[in-house]
Amino acid sequence: MAGIVAEHASFDRALNKIATISVVDLTRGLRHNTAPCVTQGHSRASHETFAKVTEVSISKAKKELNWAELGFQYRQTDFRFSATYSDGAWSAGELLASPLIAVHEGAPALHYAQQCFEGMKAQTAPDGRVLLFRPELNSERMNQTAERLLMPQVPLELFLRGVEEAVRANYAWIPPYGSGASLYIRPMLIGVGENLGLRPARTFEFRVFVSPVGPYYKSAGLAVISLAVSEFDRAAPAGTGAFKAGANYAGGLLATRHAQALGANEALYLDSKTRTYIDEAGSANIVVAMKGNRLVSPKSNAILPSVTRRSVMTLAEEQMKMQVENRPIDLRAELPEFEEVAACGTAAVLSPVGRIWVDGEWHAFYGNGEKVGPVMQKLYDLLVGIQRGELADVHGWTREVSMD
């Protein structure tokens, strides 16, 4: 790859070398306590296998992609950022060329789901600047999850540097302004290293990778979706629902499949104690525009604190002069008050919900569930306008990523 100087052999050559190690070599390696397989951390084997990037030349030429037709799926980019935690301290971190992670077979992330992640986006502004949206809140939320899962917190400086280095190194993959696409950013924290018993890992990796994406729900602009109330519970009242832990999402895959079998896009979860109050959708928070110029978001200690939802509620109150409320929402009792509903999050942005399946029937909202209502359209325009640098950022929510 032009402009890159790697310290060691390429990944493909090293992998082939590993694949051809003989049983004699393996026995010799174990006898000397130096396994010839790939190990996690800053070991010699790890460096030989996963080339460390020592120089990055940022290309100003964009990749030749059909940006307007991108779906929400993984697309490998050139670089990712990685830092490790060991013996009570974080490494400085570095850019890597390989998308693969080598972990010990006993890693707690694999067996006990000691891992968490975040979701963010970088947008291109009309003047060419590359903007992040409230990244300090993602850092804060990751550290809250880390504390809950007995993982080391990632310092804000390391978090922001990792995100910005990954974005900057992959400039060619950042969708251009006006394309409708964005650069999705996935910071993640995983427990790695040798382990067997149920206890915290001793070594952790903080990694940031990026991928250009289109809308989460494939549609130009706003997409009207539908939700189906799930018979499954997402999280217990005092469980991990308020944290962005990977295990929360694996448990929801079956609920989403059931919802899709009913013709919905996502599952809608009610509280697990009474199955009365709205918690959240499978991949997003919920906001409801109710009669009386009110915007209401569900309140529960099992709901993930969405950066998007917090921003939308602020915009509704300040820019649209709506009465905002964060409180429990009794779905069945308050349905007649619903005028518009939306799912909101980094991936979903603000997706209007046209219909909800509950108790064996569909309940439709604005425009018989087929049109975007004026409240959600205005909120979407305000939110996205700030994220893309089209509107004044009076709150200082955006952060420019320097390309120098």
Distances (CA, A) of 295 to 196, 267, 353, 365: 48, 22, 14, 15
- Exposure string over 125-149, b if 16+ CB within 10 A, otherwise e: eeeebbbbbbbebbbbbbbbbbeeb
Distances (CA, A) of 401 to 17, 22, 122, 182: 39, 48, 9, 14
**Active-site annotation holder among 62, 244, 321, 378:** 244
Indicate if 244 belongs to the active site.
Answer: yes
The DSSP secondary structure of 236-265, one letter per residue, reads -TTSSTTS-BHHHHHTTHHHHHHHHHTT-S
Residue positions counted in the chain: 404
Helices (H), ranges, 59-185: 108-111, 135-148, 156-169
> DSSP label at 127?
T
Q: CA 146, 250, 121, 323: dihedral to nearest 10 degrees?
A: -90
Rounded distance, CA 101 to CA 366, Å? 46
Which residues are known to be catalytic? 244
